[in-house]
Structure 1
Amino acid sequence: MNTKPVKQTIVSDAPEGRIVCMDSAYDVDRRNRDKDVVVTASYCGVLCARFTSQHHPRGVIGVDCGMGLEGSAIAGLWYYEALDLPAAAADINTVELGNGRDVYEHGAISRFNHPARELGVKEGMTVQQAAGLMLGTRTHHNQAPGSVTNRTVVHEIEGRSIVCTDSIAFALPEDTGRNVLCTGGHTGRSAVPYLRSARPLGFICSDGGGGRNRSGIAGLTIVERDGLAGATVDSATARMGDGLSTYRDGVISACNQHASDCGVHTGMTAREAALLLLRR
């Protein structure tokens, strides 16, 4: 009698790809490369992400395990994000740990990363729904982490655009004098050379939590002398390193005089501020 456990269970096999369940993240292997969304009953920590991501699945769903100390049980979501790989975690209270099929059949999503969000994954949806959405991702996860910029045009008017990208360092020549950039980095003095090089129509970055001597927004005043209009969002309102979150979630915490002249003020949403800067 063969008592060897079945390590992979295919629960969906469609033209767009497969959804495969596993009891452990260690059971992901080369069979899953580029074509499968894998649903595992392991936690979503960095260790599991290291072993799973080496096989380049199309998407990953694990378990949040109550988040863990310092968020350690879901920290792998951001590891996957650096690789542009959609990933999500199921609420531990909805699943049986160690039972991949149960995670797929009964799990509800509690946390997810940016690539998963862009595919439509939301808190509270079923794991089955989230896995189905992940089948829509592109199979390009061989990128180096540093090449992922998440550049996204979110609004256009009269040849100008609001562009989200994760760092001001990712600005392009086409942004000069034309686009408003919403980025996820702080606005300290180290951002100044990038802002001066890019010279966007306007910019909104993070205040980095403020810092001693308001160092997280020092760049606002420095580039004001260059004629650049800029503002920052409160880092407690938007995810650092995520330009789309700056735009979608951010609340303005500071701005320079050029931005103020456009109508930007503290307490307004980054969406509103970006539109005002675009009409500059």
Structure 2
Amino acid sequence: MPLVVDSVTHLTPDARGKVALCASHGGTYAAWHAARHGLAAMILHDAGIGRERAGIGGLDWLEARGIPGACVGHESARIGDAADMLRRGVLTFANAAAARCGVEPGMTAARALGLLEAAARPAADVADGMHEAGREVAGRGGVRVFALDSNGMVGPEHAGQVVVTGSHGGLLGGRPGTAVKAQVAAALYNDAGVGIDRAGLSRLPALDARGIPAGCVSCFSARIGDGLSTWEDGFLSAVNATAAVRGGRIGQSARDFVAAMLEHA
């Protein structure tokens, strides 16, 4: 039976050998995170494709290891919402390994998932030394700024600090509690092309409700899945009301946005 999960971070050891539809972006980080659980094949989200095609970069990474992979288009289904991807997702990209299973762009996600399941591929065997990256990149007045490749890396130790992530700005399964796991001082995400129902920005109002200033950088300015790229390359495409009151605005660089948030921390 295929797995259907809102994030690759929700995969568990019993995923080994299974096929999964994961509502994470299709970048290299997400593909690696899923493959290290031994998935036989996977469907991800194209996250607007974005800078250097980072939103689908995981497909080439999977292809190099013989693992079938495909991505659902951001204009067809909500990122972070696996049930929606299964219900109305349409593929925009598939790697050659997936094509050999009969999977192709234009196909529904549900149909592609069935084909990958029927192909009975072996479990992935990934020994690559890739790892999640988290770095302290700035700070002011005791408030530290961390660039994290994934929102899943946020923990209690980040309470009161600023997190600049490579994750998409979408809630997982539409659940407000998934916006961020700690009461951070401010947060940045990637807009994942914004997409259908503006899903790529859906964390922002949820964070407003918690009094957390937050914004998203354009997927065309920074590589999704790369927190350091968000910090170094990102330009804001959206801010929530809490951030706007504190000087956040569309068009700012990520560094200038963070500086404004630190000014009012």
After TM superposition, the score normalised by the length of structure 1 is 0.47
> Greater relative contact order: 1 or 2 (C-alpha under 8 angstroms, separation 6 or more)?
2
After TM superposition, the score normalised by the length of structure 2 is 0.50
The structure whose Rg is larger is: 1
